[in-house]
Structure 1
Amino acid sequence: MKGFRWILTALVVAAPLAAQASCETVKADINQKIISNGVPASGFSLEIVPNDQADQAGGQVVGHCENDSQKIVYKRNGTESDTAEPASTGTSQDAPSS
């Protein structure tokens, strides 16, 4: 019975550490997927924020962790002009005829 109590106590102590580790694991997985899609690692950042602060983080929520109490927010690095679609997008066939 003492062994069971010791294991139970160890699990209770380790649970918060495991939850944080799982958040970091989810963030790392998302990071790798973004890089695999051709975005350079210097072109974005991921931030873990509490659920109630996700709107103020100024980015796009791309994941969640810790029983949905934390959000992972994606922010694109660079200037404003980097995030805008270039005017030269498309071909001359796409331009309206006059």
Structure 2
Amino acid sequence: MSDQRAFRNFAEFYPYYLEEHQNVICRRLHFAGSLLVLLVGIGAILSGNVLWLLALPVIGYGFAWIGHFQFEKNRPATFKHPLYSLMGDWVMFRDMLIGRIRF
């Protein structure tokens, strides 16, 4: 499936998103990045040091992009579908937490 495809909604996009995350190490890196984003975000708010919020995109995308370029060997969906990709990150994170997706 090409990442040039137009998706009408997130429900159409998510199966494609999962196809782009078949490598377990890539999924683990996504999970680690998402978890760190949550922890650093909460820490920044609780500490009052909101400058840490600037690090969130670097943390989240850094882990994910290493997973794609080094292990999955594909281009992150973020480049063509940024909003759906961000939504997919959090839905996949939830699906891994509840055991729907192995990681």
TM-score normalized by the length of structure 1: 0.30
Which has the larger helix fraction? 2
Which has more radius of gyration? 1
Identify which of structures 1 and 2 has the higher relative contact order when contacts are C-alpha pairs closer than 8 Å and 6+ apart.
Answer: 2
